[in-house]
């Protein structure tokens, strides 16, 4: 595990902007925007802004850490040397899941503070976690099946943006996971987000199988 | 060190490798063949990055592999890249620094350890490629087209580095440039259209061409009996000569053959004179 963490550290630190952008947004932009909104419009609007930013910007930025790792394995021309060094036909699935978990844990302090001010924000964190997992799984499976991180990122970001844009008008559409304009409906977690979590698990499994099968 | 049995590889309907059988031990081995003969496919199968359609390969667990196209993630520094490979090969953390710096010194890149890969030349990247392949002292080292795309100076430097590698490992150098393996490899395997068409010692390959290589005056080209193949033109003392390869007697004294002559003989399918 320590070797795996060493590689993830190298991947993240080498792509400085991709690594720092989510941290800046989560620990600087998100709190300052919400505080500013609270001072101007009050607690309710501030909470709405927090939900909006965490379900749009913070969710979409989660892809950057996965991108920085997968670029080394898929987009660079040295990937065959990497696979030969690792010898076994293993996959990047676990690395991606570790990065995802670190990202979710990274957002916990901000949600903890937000919960203190807004109260009962944890369902929103679970929703955020599930949507983030699904997007990361989508990026991973697309990257390994298309053999291009760039193409996979384009498709995943296109879906995310369309989801944010049309999610407001089609609040009940189940294919649009990003619904930052509103908070969770009662029962929506079991009807929409738990199945999405299951879908994320299946996508990770498919990606893992594609990678471990080796190239034809 | 490595054993290949009945290895075949198909890409769709096209068969890229045909029933390859090899058993290679310590030392340098040359894998020669024209472009498209299946060398890279075989190397990728040996490295475990390509799944054979049928047949088996048995080799050591740790492999050093320098692929034909090696241009790593450009935002990493040279040292970070080596560290990345070291962690993949599970070299203990406390040994990594020494191992990395020793290899960077070997390939004359120790002073560029902190440079980003995007600032390095193609030759430097190839040298880093061989350094990463050697991390962990793998018993099997696969080097695919090591000098492709390098300028003459970089090529010479790279060949010197290769010749300094530990001969206790099994080192397979795949190339279409005979000169790259001529001085190093005692055993030469020639691939053509996916098949092993020759598996000989380098001296035996030279002998294969003995009696079939001639040096004739260029002015006498019209008198030559076909088939023949002009290997190169040579000039000495105001005279131009042709070095030719021919299965027929050409009314000239045969000259000493080289490995390249033997290689061309095999590829052209000329039988040796001694047969």
Contact A159, A138 (CB under 8 A): yes
- Mean pLDDT, residues B5-30 taken together: 92
d(CA A14, CA A8): 10
- A75 min Cα distance to partner chain B (Å): 8
Q: In whole angstroms, how far apart are CA A169 and each of A162, A164, A166, A185, B206?
A: 11, 10, 5, 15, 78
d(CA A146, CA A151): 7
Among A7-16, A21-30, B143-152, B231-240, the range of highest mean pLDDT? A21-30
Task: State chain B's mean pLDDT as an integer.
Answer: 87
d(CA A110, CA B41): 51
Evaluate if residue B24 carries a pLDDT over 70.
yes
- Name A41's Cβ contacts closer than 8 Å, sequence gap at least 6: none
- Kindly give the pairing relationship between strand B2-11 and strand B14-24: antiparallel
d(CA B231, CA B249): 16
Which of B47, B87, B100 best tests the A interface by mutation, with the highest count of A CBs <10 A? B87
B145: three-class secondary structure by DSSP:
coil
Alpha helices in chain B (DSSP H): 39-47, 78-88, 93-106, 122-134, 152-163, 178-182, 202-208, 259-268
CB contact under 8 A, B67 and A85: no
- What's the number of CA atoms in the CB half-sphere (13 Å) around residue A147? 6
Evaluate if residue B274 carries a pLDDT over 70.
no
The larger pLDDT score, comparing residue B267 to residue B225, is at B267
- Count of A–B CB contacts within 8 Å? 97
- A22 min Cα distance to partner chain B (Å): 19
Which residues is B24 bridged to in the sheet? B2
- Kindly give the pairing relationship between strand B170-175 and strand B140-144: parallel
Task: State chain A's mean pLDDT as an integer.
Answer: 86
d(CA B228, CA B208): 16
CB contact under 8 A, A84 and B65: yes
- Mean pLDDT, residues A174-194 taken together: 74
Q: Give this prediction's pTM.
A: 0.81
d(CA A210, CA B146): 30
Contact B50, B75 (CB under 8 A): no
The ipTM is: 0.78
- B220 min Cα distance to partner chain A (Å): 50
In chain B, domain spans: 2-205, 211-268
Set of chain A residues whose Cβ sits within 8 Å of the Cβ of B75: 14-15
Which residue of chain A has the CA closest to B9? A216
Of B77, B72, B69, B126, the residue nearest B100 (C-alpha) = B77
pLDDT the model gives residue B121: 87
CB contact under 8 A, A3 and B50: no
Measured CB to CB, residues of chain B less than 8 Å from chain A are: 11, 44, 47-51, 61-67, 69-77, 80, 83-85, 87-90, 93, 129, 132-133, 135, 142
Contact A182, B17 (CB under 8 A): no
- What's the number of CA atoms in the CB half-sphere (13 Å) around residue A24? 7
Evaluate if residue B92 carries a pLDDT over 80.
yes
pLDDT the model gives residue A171: 58
Q: In whole angstroms, how far apart are CA B84 and each of A60, B20, B198?
A: 27, 33, 38
Could you give the percent of chain A with pLDDT greater than 70? Answer: 91
CB contact under 8 A, A78 and B67: yes
The dihedral region occupied by B14, where left means phi > 0, alpha psi between -120 and 50, and beta the remainder, is beta
d(CA A20, CA A65): 9
pLDDT the model gives residue B275: 45
- B49 min Cα distance to partner chain A (Å): 6
Evaluate if residue A77 carries a pLDDT over 80.
no
pLDDT the model gives residue B100: 94
Which residue of chain A has the CA closest to B91? A3
Tell me which residue in B69, B88, B129 faces A86 most closely, judged by beta carbons. B88
Set of chain A residues whose Cβ sits within 8 Å of the Cβ of B90: 3
pLDDT band at A145; cut points 50, 70, 90:
very high
Contact B38, B17 (CB under 8 A): yes
Radius of gyration of chain B (CA): 21
- CATH architecture for the domain at B2-205: 3-Layer(aba) Sandwich (3.40)
CB contact under 8 A, A10 and B69: no
B94: three-class secondary structure by DSSP:
helix
CB contact under 8 A, A85 and B89: yes
- Name B121's Cβ contacts closer than 8 Å, sequence gap at least 6: B154
In the numeric block, which tokens belong to residue A55? Answer: 């379900």
Model confidence pLDDT, tens digit, residues B184-233 = 888 999 999 999 999 988 888 888 888 888 888 888 888 888 888 888 88
The side-by-side arrangement of strands in the sheet containing B187-192 is B63-66, B140-144, B170-175, B27-32, B187-192, B195-201
Of A134, A103, A140, the residue nearest A25 (C-alpha) = A103
Contact B188, B180 (CB under 8 A): no
pLDDT the model gives residue A158: 93
Set of chain B residues whose Cβ sits within 8 Å of the Cβ of A89: 48
Lowest mean pLDDT across A151-160, B63-72, B128-137: B63-72
- B120 min Cα distance to partner chain A (Å): 15
The larger pLDDT score, comparing residue B54 to residue B180, is at B54
- Mean pLDDT, residues A111-133 taken together: 90
Of A73, A141, A146, A88, the residue nearest B51 (C-alpha) = A88
């Amino acid at each position: 595990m320590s070797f795996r963490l060493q590689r993830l550290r190298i991947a993240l630190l080498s792509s400085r902007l991709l690594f720092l952008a989510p941290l800046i947004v989560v620990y600087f932009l998100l709190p300052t925007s919400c505080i500013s909104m609270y001072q101007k419009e009050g607690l309710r609007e501030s909470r709405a802004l927090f939900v909006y930013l965490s379900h749009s910007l913070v969710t979409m930025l989660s892809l950057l850490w996965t991108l920085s790792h997968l670029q080394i394995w898929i987009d660079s021309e040295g990937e065959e040397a990497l696979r030969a060094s690792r010898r076994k036909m293993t996959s990047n699935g676990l690395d991606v899941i570790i990065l995802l978990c670190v990202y979710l844990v990274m957002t916990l302090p901000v949600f903890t503070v937000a919960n203190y001010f807004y109260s009962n924000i944890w369902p929103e964190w679970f929703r955020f976690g599930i949507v983030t997992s699904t997007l990361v799984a989508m990026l991973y499976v697309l990257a390994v099946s298309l053999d291009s991180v760039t193409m996979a990122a384009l498709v995943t970001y296109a879906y995310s943006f369309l989801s944010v844009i049309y999610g407001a008008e089609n609040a009940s559409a189940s294919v649009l996971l990003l619904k930052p304009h509103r908070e969770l409906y009662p029962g929506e977690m079991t009807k929409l987000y738990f199945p999405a979590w299951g879908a994320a698990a299946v996508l990770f499994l498919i990606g893992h199988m594609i990678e471990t099968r080796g190239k034809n | 060190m490595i054993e290949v049995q009945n290895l075949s590889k198909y890409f769709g309907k096209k068969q890229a490798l045909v029933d390859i059988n090899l058993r290679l031990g310590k030392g340098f081995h040359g894998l020669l063949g024209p472009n498209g003969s299946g060398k890279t496919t075989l190397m990728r199968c040996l490295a475990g990055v390509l799944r054979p359609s049928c047949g088996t390969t048995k080799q050591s667990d740790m492999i050093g592999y320098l692929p034909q196209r090696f241009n790593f993630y450009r935002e990493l520094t040279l040292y970070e890249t080596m560290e990345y490979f070291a962690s993949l090969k599970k070299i203990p953390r406390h040994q990594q620094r020494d191992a990395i710096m020793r290899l960077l010194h070997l390939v004359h890149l120790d002073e560029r350890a902190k440079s980003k890969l995007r600032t390095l030349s193609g030759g430097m990247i190839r040298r880093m490629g061989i350094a990463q392949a050697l991390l962990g002292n793998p018993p099997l080292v696969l080097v695919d087209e090591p000098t492709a795309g390098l300028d003459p100076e970089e090529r010479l430097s790279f060949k010197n580095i290769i010749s300094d590698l530990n001969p206790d490992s099994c080192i397979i150098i795949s190339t279409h440039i005979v000169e790259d393996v001529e001085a190093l490899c005692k055993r030469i395997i020639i691939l053509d259209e996916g098949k092993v068409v020759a598996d000989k010692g380098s001296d035996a390959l030279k002998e294969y061409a003995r009696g079939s290589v001639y040096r004739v005056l260029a002015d006498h080209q019209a008198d030559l009996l076909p088939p023949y193949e002009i290997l190169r033109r040579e000039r000495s003392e105001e005279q131009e000569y042709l070095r030719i390869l021919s299965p027929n007697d050409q009314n000239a004294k045969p000259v000493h053959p080289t490995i390249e002559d033997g290689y061309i003989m095999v590829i052209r399918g000329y039988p040796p004179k001694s047969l």
